[in-house]
Every structure is written in C-alpha cells, then in structure tokens.
Structure 1
Amino acid sequence: MADLEAEEIQLQPCEPGKLAAAELRTLFLFEKLTDEQLTWIADHGCTMHAPAGSLVLREGDPAEKFFILLSGTISLFRRVGQDDVQTSRTEQRGVYMGATQAYIRDDGVPRTYMASMRALDDTDFFVLSAADFGALMREWFPMAIHLLEGLYLGMRSTQAAIGERQRLTALGALSAGLMHELNNPAAAASRATGALRMRVAGMRHKLGMLAAGKVAADRLDALVELQEEVIEKAAKAPTLTAMQTADREDELGDWMADRNVTHAWDLAPVFAQGGLDTRCLDDIEAKVGSPELLDQAIHWIGYALETEQLMSDIEDATGRVSHLVTAAKQYSQLDRAAHQWIDVHTGLDSTLVMLSHKIGDGVTVVKDYDRDLPQVPAHPAELNQVWTNIIDNAVQAMSGAGTLTIRTTGADEHVVVSIGDTGPGVPEELRKRVFEPFFTTKPVGEGTGLGLDISYRIIVNGHGGDIQLESRPGDTRFLVRLPLTEPSSQ
C-alpha cells in the first residue's frame, strides 16, 4: 500500500456558492427537500473539481467530507493484501460517498473513509463537511436518524454479543472434545497400571516358587538371562497379521498343553504378542531342566512379557496425553507472542487434533503440505480461529462423511492454504454472500453467520491477505492467501 500512501490528494479548492438551490433539487438525494432546506445546503456546501486520475479520498483517512457526484466518472476501491480491488465504478449523477455515517452520534469510534476514490476523468462534486451533513440529518430527520442509529448500533452490539457467545460456545465444544480425547488415554493408562500391579505381584510370587524349588544357581542365572533375551526379542518383534497371530497362538498353546503348563491358552496370546515361537519355549525348557519347574518358569517369563507390554501401553497412553496437551497449547498460543513468524502447518495440525472429535471416523483427512514453504508473519491464535471455522463448516457440509483435504502451496509471494470438502457445494447465488455478517445457510439455532465474516476480517484486515471460495458439487474449497511480508498496518 506504499504507493497509495505516498500519493498526494491534490484537488482544486472548494468554491462556495456555485450551486443554486434549484439545481440541488435535480439530485435524487435532495429532490423532496423544501426550498428553505435546499437554500441552507447551498449556503453550507461548495463545489469541487477533481482532475482526471486524481485521488479524491483515501481509505482509512478521517471522514471529514460528504461528496455528491455532479459530473464525471469515479472509481471506488479497497485494499486487499497488496492489491487494489475496485468495488464500484459509476458516472451516475447524484451518487454519494465519503462521510456517509456522520449523522451517527459520537460513540468514541473514529469515523474514517471506508474506501478510496479516484476520478477517472475530469470530475465535479458538491461537497458538505461531515459536521454540516451530520447536523442537518439529525435536525431535519430525527425519526430517520433514530432508526438508522438503532440499526447501526444494534447490529454492532448484536454482532459483538453473538460473537462473544459464539466464542464461548466454540470454547466449550473444544474443551469438551479435548476432555473426551484426554479421557481415552488416561483411562487406558489407569487400566494398564492396575493390571501391571497384579502382574508384578504374580512375578514376585513365581520367582519365590522358583527359588523354593531349589533351582541350581547356574540354571536360575541362565533363566534370568533368558528372560532378558526374551524381553529384548519382544521389543524387536515384527508385527504379525491377524491370521499369523492366530496360527502362532495355536502353536504355542499346543506346545504348553503337551507339557501340562497351567492356563496354557491364556499364556499363548501373551507369548504370541511378544513375538515368541516354540523355539524360544524349547530354550526355556532346556535351561530350566526340570519338568516340575517348567510351569513356574513359563508363567514367570509370561508375567515379564505382560509387564513390558503394559508399560508400553502406559507409555503410549501418556504420550497421547502429552501430544494432546501440546496441541492444545499450540492451538491456544497461550505461551506465545501475539504476533510472530510461524509455520502455518503447526496451527493446521493442532486445529485438526482439537477438532478430531467433530471430524469423526467418517471423514478422511488428506494433508498435502509443502513443507518447504517459508514462515509467514501472523497472529497464530487468530489464524487457528480461521482454520477452526472453515474446517468445522466443511465437516458439517459433508454431514460427517467424506474427504477433508488440506493443501498448502506458495504463489506470488504468498502462502496459500486450501481447505476443501466433498460436500454438496455452495450454490452460485450464495457464494458472494458467505462472508456477510449474520448470513448462514444452517437451520435456525445452528449457526450465527459470523464464523466466515470473522475469518474474512482476520485474514483481510488483520493479515493483509485474501480469502476466496470456489465451489461445485463434490468439491468446495476455501483458499486463504497469507503474504510473506509484514502488512503495512502491522
């Protein structure tokens, strides 16, 4: 936006008294006013000439003037990222722009121009100061002003209240989902700990029985050594298919049953899961040496295998808890600076973890990331809110069944994040409205219509980027473009 900021607004001085009351009546905005009112406007207004190509007003500057087009052609445009997007081009006499909200009472919010305006050819305006325009509106049309202020302030208050409620609802849903996700590994760890306590007690008991059986010291040492070899082998055991596991269990069960090992068919799955076969059992039998002590030795090693497996289960469960906590911290960005250079993939992954309970098993998630993309300057917590809104909408559009595709690419000094779904799509007549506040296609009570409006403002206003919707049945994609450089407003 540097070129526009550097460009000077150079207009000819305003000339008072150049427009008669009768001529003002030809403008549709004033056609119903009385002669006295038209005279007042003529006395307080002035005409202004803008040469072709000149910048008449700049987006973001204080809204000090109310312009009415008398002749010529103008273009209104807004800044989106690094581009100027034309929102209107007109030569219609009487159209107005500038300080259009000057009639609203002072609420502490600075009034600025909402767009920039350029004269495309030699153009003439009738101009009122914002103070005069606001005064005449409040004095001449008090009922209309009350209605307009109520509409403006009411919509703003409603948007703030609903937005706050939406954030609280989203926080509650995310918290409930996180607790649900944490409960599964926590319960698994608790069950495994209880089972581990029983197995350790059983191991101590069997070890006592082996010792009481007067096993020779060298044989007991050999058995302990074999136990370590068995545990090491179990740690490196390859994963078996369900059919291979069943065959292995049958072989081990038959071997133990032939030697009168108690609870042989309960022990067989433990040894099979540990990757052991009948050759290992033959080694155990040879090192024990005594058929009377074989049962205790098999059970003792079985307990050792189970404890290892249970400790692996506990490690996996606590690892999942740690992963969820890490994802929650990354999602909330509670321990990070508000603005920083980030890898967008980190936020996307943490958002997927936080929404996993909503995504469910019926949705296949496909991640096509370009890991070589550079970092972008951003507010991570705000971006995570954008990802949450878009992904949540995509999952709802697919009714819990379909494919969610998240793709990252680079283009024209931007990082582009594409979030697509295989839902029914958005009809063409609705696509241009999806970013409007309070617009929603969801049933009453299921959507506020603010999610995508908030997302648009975060991306466009907060990050100097762009967000677009492309949709057809079976392929709907939101494309979020984030600049690789700091926006000028930062």
Structure 2
Amino acid sequence: MTSTTPRIDVEELRSLFLFESLDDDVLAWLAARAEVRVFDADAVVFAEDEPAEALFVLLEGGLLLSKHATGEDLVINETSHRGTYAGAVRAFTGGPPQRYQTSMHATRPSRFLWLAAADFAQLVQQQCPMAVHLLDGIYEGVRATESTMRQREHLVQLGVLSANLAHELNNPAAAAVRATEQLRTRISGMRNKLSLLAKEGLSPEMVAKLVAVQEQSVQRAQKPRPELTALEESDLEEEISDRLEERGVAHAWELAPVFAAAGLDATWVDDVVEQVDGGVKWDAAFGWMRYTLETEALMSEIEEATTRVSALVGAVKQYSHMDQAQHSEVPLKPGLESTLVMLARKLTGIEVRREYAADLPLVPGYPAELNQVWTNLIDNAADAMAGAGVLTLRTRADDSSVFVEIGDDGPGVPAELQPRLFEPFVTSKPAGQGSGLGLENAKRIVERRHGGSLTYTTGPAGTTFCVRLPRRSGS
C-alpha cells in the first residue's frame, strides 16, 4: 500500500545531507513542492525502464535497488541509511526524457521524500549551474563516444561480412568463368571431330547410331556412382586406355581419364563398338564422345557455380530481410543458416554441429536485429576457437519461450571478465580487434527489443550463450 502524507517541513529537509547546505528560502521552496510518500514492506517504489518521474529520498525505513541482468534481478544496493536517494538523479541533464535505470523496493514500511523530476532539475540548475554544465559535458561526451564506437562496431561488422561475402561469391564466379572458357574450347573440338566424321560420308543410320550412343553415354555419366580411390581410378583409366588402343584409337591415354571421370569403363568401349558396328573412324568417334562428356561436365560445373551464387544472394536477402516487414513472426532457423553463410570464410576449419528442434515455433520480433545477435555470438565463438574447434547451434522450446544456444569449445571467458562481460567496451580481444560492444548490443536487442534474456555458461571446455525469446509479445 502506498499513501501520501502532508508535506515535509523545512527542519526535516535540513536534516537530510542532500539539502543541509541550502538556505531557508530554497528549503521553503523545496518544502512547498515535495511530498512524503509511505510504502509498505516489499512494495515497488519504481520499476526499471519506466519514465523517471521523480527523485526519491529515504526518510525512514529501508530500500533495495536492483537491476535486471543475465536473466535475473541483481541487487545493486540494500540500505536503511537515512538520506539515501535514487530515481531521477540525472533529471537536470539535457536530452530526451529519461527512464529509471534500476528498480527500487521498500524492504520494510518506509517513508520517502518525493520530488518531481522537473522540480529537482530546477533546484540543481539554480544552485549548482557550473556543476550542471560540467556534468552535462561529461554525459554528452560519454554518449558521443559510445555512439561513435557503436557506429564503428557496425561498420567493422559490415566490413567483415562484406569480405566474407566477396570471398564466397568469388569462388563460384571464378569457377563459372573458368568453365565457360574451357567450354568454348571443347565445343570447338567437338565441331572439329564432327567435321571429320562428316567427311566420311556417314549414312543417316550411322549418324543416328552415333547420336544414340552419345545420349546413352551422357545419361550414364549423370548417374551417381561410388567414389574411387586413387589406385582404383588409375586401374580404370589403364583398362579403358588398353581397350581404346585395341580399337586403334591414337592418344588413348588422353581420352581414358575423361571417360573414367564420367563413370564409364572398358565394357562401355565394347558397347560403343558393338552398337555403331563399324564404318567409322574410331579416333573421330571416341574423340567426339570425349568432347561431348567434357562439355556436359563443364555445363554441370557452371550450373553448380551459378546455383551457389544464387544461394548466396538468397542468403544475403534472408540475412538482411529485404522487402519484409520490420516486425513479424520470425522463423529462427533460416536466420541462423544465413548467418553461417555470411560468416562462412571465418568458420573455415571449424566444424558446425546443428541440433535444431523439429517444428520450432515462430517468435515475434525483428528478424534483421536477431541476425545481428547471431552474428555477434557466432563471430565471438569463432574468435574463441581461433580457427579450429566445434561450433554447436542448438534450438529448443517450452510453453512460453524459444531458446537458441550457441556454443564453442574454446578456452572459456577469463574469470576477471565474467562479471562485466555484457558491459560496454569490455572485451578479451587484443587492442584494435574488438570494441567490446558486440555482446552489449546483443543483450540490448534480446532484452529491450524482444523482452527475452541472454545468459551464458563458461569453463575450460568452452562457452555457451543462451538466447531466450518469448513466444508471445510481452511474455
């Protein structure tokens, strides 16, 4: 229960160390504006993140200040010292409307002086103008520094992602260019062999046989086949080469590796000879087959490369959530997967284990911001493992929340950093390699933007961060 009593008198105000140096006129002005509010034991005096409406000064009783962090309420201060103050302590500074940075409970029946934030600001500005200017400068400097560092962090992260993406795009693009150049040469060779066959004056029936054998060979080459050891592949090439030489094919050793790579064998050579049934130069016929199979292989390589480019572009779109509503019902798996694609270069040498729960429910949120969280956590895990280790992504859900766990098997968070791990500018990375804002930014997105929590466990066997997101807004 909370109640307001008659206004405080000047003598009681003078007995508080916060106001003891004020003259009678100022104390009278203050007494006319202040209230005395009474709270029962365990009553909430004010709650974290609510608008900071007033300054509270303890007159009698006890108070407890707490702050929500790492998924629990941490006690900041518990005292019965008369004159202790909390609440809108920075009301005198400029800028946007402020919010309470902590929560305060009465630990026993208590009386508090209540002074509206605007009145407290006026009092301080009139009594201590120089101090106000100095403190304003300090606060603005801190805010400007933090804003600059956040922008730098985002630019650095964007640069890392851009470099990863450029590397990932370059490989398939270069493969497609290389295959295209080779394809032009193979098509030229195919035309040459076809010209040699044409000079023999082949009948339509013979041409039909050659085309049929060509189609059969291509279809056979496209079928899945078991992987061969280097020795098995060498033996297969030798068998094909011997059979081609038996048919009088010159440079059989050049053709054999192509046929072997396509999954063909010496029996296939016999089948071609049997189906075509003579009347053709085997050099030209098998040469034409060689260029046909190489052309098919190169077209498959181009298809794979361009498909990879398309998949990367799709991953970028998924990661950035272009053309999608800012707030929506978010499936978490696509965001995790697109983040892995964006960070693929940094994850080279690291084994990624996925332990995704089936039918994971959607969560209300901001998908692009959640991808920033995954980026920070996965990037930190990769740094912790220094290019070698196991990255584990695990999802699960209960009736109220969805959980995403991102773990590494690195050396763990140093003991001296653990109490301050989510504070701005705290980092275990060498100077110049991290701003210390990644985890703080992730925590802010998870807790303030999504109403969830970000916690971690750590030890010599590694570190696991757990993101809890409510299944319903406001949960």
TM-score (norm. length: structure 1): 0.90
- 1:247 is aligned to 2:235: yes
- Give yes or no for the alignment of 1:340 onto 2:328: yes
Is the CA contact (8 Å cut-off) linking 2:40 and 2:109 kept in structure 1?
Answer: yes
Instruction: Tell whether 2:11 aligns with 1:16.
Output: no
Question: Alignment partner of 2:185: what SS?
Answer: helix
Residues 422, 80 of structure 1: alpha-carbon distance in 2 compared, 3 angstrom cutoff: closer
The one-letter code sitting in structure 1 at the alignment partner of 2:431 is: V
Contact (CA 8 Å) 1:10, 1:55: kept in 2 or not? no
Residue 14 to residue 463, structure 1, CA distance change in 2 (3 Å): farther
When structure 1 is superposed on structure 2, of 314-323 and 118-127 the one drifting more is 118-127
- Is 1:256 aligned with 2:244? yes
* CA displacement at 1:237 relative to structure 2: 4.0
Task: Tell me the residue number matched to 1:357.
Answer: 345
Letter in 2 for 1:376: V
Asked if structure 1 preserves the Cα contact closer than 8 Å seen for 2:10 and 2:27, the reply is no
Equivalent of residue 424 in structure 1, options 411, 422, 436: 411
Mapped contact 1:11–1:54 kept (Cα < 8 A): no
Task: For residues 189-222 of structure 1, give each alpha carbon's deviation from its aligned partner in whole angstroms, at most 9, with x where no partner exists.
Answer: 1111111122122112212211211334323312
User: 2-side partners of 1:417 and 1:80: how far apart?
Assistant: 18
Match of 1:4 in 2: none
SS at match of 1:20: helix
2:409 and 2:461 in contact (8 A); partners too: yes
C-alpha distance in 2 between matches for 1:455 and 1:131: 34
3-state SS of the aligned residue for 2:403? Answer: strand
Looking at structure 1, the residues matched to 461 and 92 of structure 2 have their Cα atoms a distance apart, in angstroms, of: 47
The total of aligned residue pairs comes to 472
User: What is the CA-CA distance between 1:13 and the residue it aligns to?
Assistant: 3.7
Q: Does 1:287 align with 2:279?
A: no
Which amino acid letter does the alignment assign opposite residue 111 of structure 2?
D
Shift of 1:90: 1.7
Alignment of 1:433-448 (within 5 A): 433-448=420-435
Asked if 1:329 corresponds to 2:317, the answer is yes
Shift of 1:112: 2.6
1:113 alignment partner, one of 100, 116, 122: 100
Pair 114,235 (structure 1): closer, same or farther in 2 beyond 3 Å = same
Matches within 5 A, 1:204-215: 204-215=191-202
Q: Would the alpha carbon gap of residues 37 and 327 (structure 1) be closer, same or farther in structure 2, given more than 3 Å must change?
A: farther
CA 1:15–1:36 in structure 2 vs 1: closer, same or farther (change >3 Å)? Answer: closer
Question: Are the counterparts in 1 of residues 45 and 106 from structure 2 also a CA contact under 8 Å?
Answer: yes
1:318 paired residue number: 306
Given that residues 71 and 91 in structure 1 are in contact (C-alpha distance below 8 angstroms), is that contact kept between their aligned partners in structure 2? no
Q: What's the offset of the Cα at 1:46?
A: 4.0
1:367 aligned counterpart, secondary structure: strand
- The CA RMSD over aligned residues, in Å, is 2.4
Q: Which stretches in structure 1 are left out of the alignment for 5+ residues? A: 1-8
Name the CA distance, whole Å, in 2 between partners of 1:140 and 1:442.
45
Counterparts of residues 336-415 of structure 1 (less than 5 Å):
336-360=324-348, 362-415=349-402
Give distance in 2, aligned partners of 1:38 and 1:23.
Answer: 14
Runs of 5+ in structure 2 lacking a partner?
Answer: none
**1:303 aligned residue (287, 291, 298):** 291
For 1:99, give the aligned amino acid. Answer: A
Correspondence list, 1:157-236, <5 A: 157-236=144-223
Kindly provide the amino acid, as one letter, of the partner of residue 334 in structure 1.
M
CA distances 1:331-361 after superposition (whole Å, capped 9, x unpaired):
111121101112111000000000111122x
Q: 1:88-107, aligned counterparts within 5 Å? A: 88=76, 90-93=78-81, 94-105=83-94, 107=95
Separation (CA, whole Å) in 2 of partners of 1:439 and 1:318: 42
* Bigger shift: residues 363-372 or 59-68: 59-68
1:131 deviation in Å? 2.5
Counterpart contact for 1:80–1:465, Cα < 8 Å: no
Q: Deviation per CA, 1:169-206, whole angstroms, max 9, x where unpaired?
A: 22122122211211110111111111112212211221
Which residue in the other structure is 1:451 paired with?
438
Pairwise CA distance, 1:431 = 1.4
CA–CA separation in structure 2 for the residues paired with 1:388 and 1:92: 45
Question: How far apart are 1:401 and its partner, in Å?
Answer: 1.6
Q: Does 1:66 align with 2:55?
A: yes
The CA deviation string for residues 59-96 of structure 1, in whole angstroms up to 9 with x for no partner, is: 44432221111222333445679x87354462331321
What's the CA shift string for 1:88-108, capped at 9, x where partnerless?
A: 462331321111111102x2x
Structure 1 residues 104 and 294: alpha-carbon distance in aligned structure 2, compared to 1, 3 A threshold: same
Q: CA 1:19/1:403 → structure 2, altered by over 3 Å: closer, same or farther?
A: farther
Contact 1:21 1:38 in 2 (8 A): no
Instruction: For residue 416 of structure 2, give the secondary structure of its aligned residue in structure 1.
Output: helix
Cα displacement (A) at 1:18: 6.8
- Of stretches 154-163 and 51-60 in structure 1, the one that deviates more from structure 2 is 51-60
Distance 1:263 1:291, change over 3 A: farther
Q: Which residue of 1 aligns with 2:263?
A: 275
For the 8 Å contact 1:166–1:448, the answer to whether it is kept is yes
**3-state SS of paired residue (2:202):** coil
Please tell me whether the aligned partners of residues 347 and 382 of structure 2 are also in contact (alpha carbons under 8 angstroms): yes
Paired residues of 1:47 and 1:126 also in contact (CA < 8 A): yes
Using a 3 Å threshold, how does the CA distance of structure 1 residues 176 and 438 change in structure 2: closer, same or farther?
same
Contact 1:30 1:38 in 2 (8 A): no
Secondary structure of the residue that 1:11 maps to in structure 2? strand
